[in-house]
Amino acid sequence: MKALITGATSGIGKAIAAEFSKRGISLILTGRNVNALQQLQHTLPVPVEIIALNLSENQAPFQLYEFCQGKHVDILVNNAGFGVYGRFSETALEEELELIQVNIRAVHILTKLFLQEFEKRGSGKILNVASSAGFLTGPLFSSYYASKNYVLRLSLAIAEELRRKKSRVSISVLCPGPVQTGFNDRAGVEFRVKALSPESVAREAVFGLLTGKRIIIPGMMIRAGIAVSHMIPEELLARILYHAQAAKNPQQGLQENIDKHRTTHDHTENHFKIFNNFFMQNTK
Ligand X SMILES: NC(=O)c1ccc[n+]([C@@H]2O[C@H](COP(=O)([O-])OP(=O)(O)OC[C@H]3O[C@@H](n4cnc5c(N)ncnc54)[C@H](OP(=O)(O)O)[C@@H]3O)[C@@H](O)[C@H]2O)c1
172 binds ligand X (CB under 6 A): no
81 binds ligand X (CB under 6 A): yes
Exactly one of 65, 85, 144, 242 is catalytic; which is it?
144
203 binds ligand X (CB under 6 A): no
Q: Which residue is nearest to ligand X (CB)?
A: 11
Identify which of 8, 10, 4, 5 has the alpha carbon closest to the alpha carbon of residue 186: 10
By rule CB under 6 A, what count of residues binds ligand X? 29
CB of 102 to ligand X, least distance (A): 5
Question: CB of 78 within 8 A of CB of 174?
Answer: no
Q: Which residues of 220-230 are buried (b: 16+ CB within 10 A; e: fewer)?
A: eebeebbeebe
225 binds ligand X (CB under 6 A): no
Rounded distance between C-alpha atoms, residue 184 and residue 197, angstroms: 14
Question: CB of 213 within 8 A of CB of 109?
Answer: no
- Give the pairing of strands 26-31 and 2-6: parallel
Residue selected from 61, 124, 178, 218 as contacting ligand X according to rule CB under 6 A: 178
CB of 179 to ligand X, least distance (A): 4
At 126, is the secondary structure helix, strand, or coil? strand
144 is catalytic: yes
For residue 185, the surrounding DSSP H or E stretch is helix 183-187
Residue selected from 186, 203, 213, 214 as contacting ligand X according to rule CB under 6 A: 186
CB of 201 to ligand X, least distance (A): 8
Nearer to ligand X, 110 or 195 (CB): 195
At 254, is the secondary structure helix, strand, or coil? helix
For residue 189, give Cα distances in angstroms to 89, 181, 185, 201, 248. 18, 12, 6, 21, 5
276 binds ligand X (CB under 6 A): no
138 binds ligand X (CB under 6 A): no
155 binds ligand X (CB under 6 A): no
CB of 155 to ligand X, least distance (A): 13
With both helix axes pointing from N to C terminus, report the angle between 107-121 and 142-164 in degrees, rounded to the nearest 10: 10
Residue selected from 3, 17, 110, 129 as contacting ligand X according to rule CB under 6 A: 129
Residue selected from 3, 11, 50, 219 as contacting ligand X according to rule CB under 6 A: 11
Binding site residues, ligand X, CB under 6 A: 7-13, 31-33, 36, 54-56, 79-82, 102, 129, 131, 176, 178-179, 181-183, 186, 195
